[in-house]
């Protein structure tokens, strides 16, 4: 079975069956990581172009490792040294890569809809690696994979997405994925970081809670979002210490959740702001497992898109 789509742009448009297919396909790829040879010939002869207009450590390297473990070639377009600096448009850069006969363009861009724009104009497979505040679908999928690996069934699981919801594409992708898989989602953060359109977007499918102690009670998992200093408009929060006091995930707050509550964070972390180091490095943290799982999930996405109609 393959995905019946050329591109992966978001989780909102994925069906539950498509999400399950991606997660199931990722499982055997993860098993490969314990072998001495971690590579399969599946995408030999294919080329994956990495087109990142924003900084990234995890996602960029994860896609590169995923492509290489599938035996694909990778080209990493250093946007800072490219013709983008001479004013070349996104579409012209995309068309240039297509003319070089790459098979995939993995794009991260500060504007919502950038991946969709390339998807509409190009025949190559487009994978959204994060567009503005819209979505970061492979992050959402790797978070689902991590939760499912630990708890088997996502249905009925109580998951809190905590922090800067307003600026977070990770929050949107996670919320869509969790809702489709039947989890109970609570969005928690200060009112100024909870956009009004959330109600319209998710309706009654998510619970909104501004009180962190209430939100984490009986939680099975807490996904802590990064405070995005680069997207933060002045004055949205009084100060980082005040934010930490009210919304930081500390050992004291974590004690209010279920005993085996999992802690996730997409990274990069602001230790001591949205998450205490004791929590990030503690026994309930699955943050580094998320990173490992990200490679397996991205291998699954590349593999399934390559075989799509």
Q: Which stretch binds ligand CP (CB under 6 A): 203-211, 230-238, 251-259, 265-273?
A: 265-273
How crowded is residue 188: how many other Cβ atoms within 10 Å of its Cβ? 25
Element (H, E) at 221: strand 221-224
Partnered with residue 158 across adjacent β-strands are 184
Q: Does 285 bind ligand CP (CB under 6 A)?
A: no
86 catalytic residue (yes or no): yes
Exactly one of 5, 30, 58, 95 is catalytic; which is it?
Answer: 58
Considering the complex, what minimum distance in angstroms separates the CB of residue 136 from ligand CP? 6
- For position 57 contacting ligand CP by CB under 6 A, the verdict is yes
**Running DSSP on this structure, what letter comes out for residue 233?**
P
H helix or E strand, kind and range, residue 143: helix 137-151
Stretch that binds ligand CP, among 38-46, 93-101, 200-208, 260-268 (CB under 6 A): 260-268
According to the binding rule CB under 6 A, does residue 113 interact with ligand CP?
A: no
Of 136, 158, 226, 265, catalytic = 136
What Cα–Cα distance (Å) separates residue 116 from each residue in 24, 97, 296?
Answer: 26, 16, 24
Given 59, 74, 138, 146, the catalytic residue:
59
| 200 is an active site residue | no
Would you say 209 or 263 has its CB closer to ligand CP? 263
Nearest distance in Å: CB 10, ligand CP? 15
Residue with tokens 């473990």: 69
Q: Is 231 in the site for ligand CP (CB under 6 A)?
A: no
DSSP secondary structure letters along 78-110: -GGGSGGGGT--HHHHHHHHHHTT-SEEEEEES
Task: Tell me if residue 121 is catalytic.
Answer: no
How many residues in the shown chain lie near ligand CP by CB under 6 A?
Answer: 10
Min dist CB 63 to ligand CP, Å, is 9
Contacts 24+ apart (CB under 8 A), 134-137: 134/10, 134/169, 134/172, 135/9, 135/10, 135/11, 135/12, 135/169, 135/172, 135/173, 135/176, 136/59, 136/169, 136/170, 136/173, 136/266, 137/8, 137/9, 137/10, 137/11, 137/14, 137/173
Taking a C-beta distance cutoff of 8 angstroms, is the pair 57, 226 a contact? no
d(CA 144, CA 129): 16
Stretch that binds ligand CP, among 11-19, 180-188, 242-250, 262-270 (CB under 6 A): 262-270
Tell me: does residue 56 bind ligand CP (CB under 6 A). yes
Question: Among the options 46, 60, 69, 108, which is catalytic?
Answer: 108
Q: Report the DSSP pairing between strands 221-224 and 262-264.
A: parallel
- The 120-159 site mask, x for binding ligand CP (CB under 6 A), equals ----------x-----x--x--------------------
| Contact status: 177 vs ligand CP (CB under 6 A) | no
Task: Name the one range near ligand CP by CB under 6 A: 83-91, 96-104, 153-161, 266-274.
Answer: 266-274
Residue from 58, 95, 217, 271 that binds ligand CP (CB under 6 A)?
Answer: 58
Closest residue by Cα to residue 141 from 111, 110, 181: 181
Can 108 be counted among the known catalytic residues? yes
Catalytic, 44? Answer: no
Residues that bind ligand CP (CB under 6 A): 56-59, 130, 136, 139, 266-268
Catalytic residues, which ones?
A: 58-59, 86, 108, 136
């Amino acid at each position: 079975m393959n995905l019946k789509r050329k591109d992966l742009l978001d989780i909102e448009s994925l069906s539950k069956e498509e999400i399950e297919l991606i997660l199931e396909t990722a499982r055997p790829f993860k098993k490969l990581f314990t072998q001495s040879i971690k590579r399969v010939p599946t995408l030999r002869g294919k080329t994956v172009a990495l087109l990142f207009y924003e900084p990234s450590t995890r996602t960029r390297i994860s896609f590169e490792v995923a492509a290489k473990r599938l035996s694909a070639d990778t080209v990493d377009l250093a946007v800072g040294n490219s013709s983008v600096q001479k004013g070349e448009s996104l579409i012209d850069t995309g068309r240039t890569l297509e003319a070089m006969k790459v098979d995939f363009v993995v794009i991260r861009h500060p504007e919502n809809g950038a991946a969709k724009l390339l998807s509409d104009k190009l025949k190559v497979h487009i994978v959204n690696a994060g567009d503005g505040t819209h979505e970061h679908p492979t992050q959402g999928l790797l978070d689902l994979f991590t939760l499912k690996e630990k708890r088997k069934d996502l249905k009925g699981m109580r998951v809190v997405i905590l922090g800067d919801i307003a600026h977070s594409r990770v929050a949107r992708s996670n919320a869509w994925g969790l809702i489709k898989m039947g989890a109970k989602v609570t969005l928690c953060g200060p009112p100024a970081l909870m956009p009004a359109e959330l109600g319209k977007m998710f309706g009654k499918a998510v619970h909104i809670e501004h009180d962190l102690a209430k939100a984490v009670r009986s939680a099975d998992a807490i996904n802590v979002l990064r405070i995005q200093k680069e997207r933060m408009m002045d004055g949205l929060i009084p100060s980082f210490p005040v934010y930490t006091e009210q919304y930081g995930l500390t050992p004291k707050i974590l004690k209010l959740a279920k005993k085996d509550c999992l802690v996730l964070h997409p990274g990069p972390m602001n230790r001591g702001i949205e998450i205490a180091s004791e929590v990030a490095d503690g026994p309930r943290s699955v943050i580094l497992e998320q990173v490992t799982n990200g490679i397996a999930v991205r291998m699954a996405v590349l593999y399934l898109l390559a075989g799509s109609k």
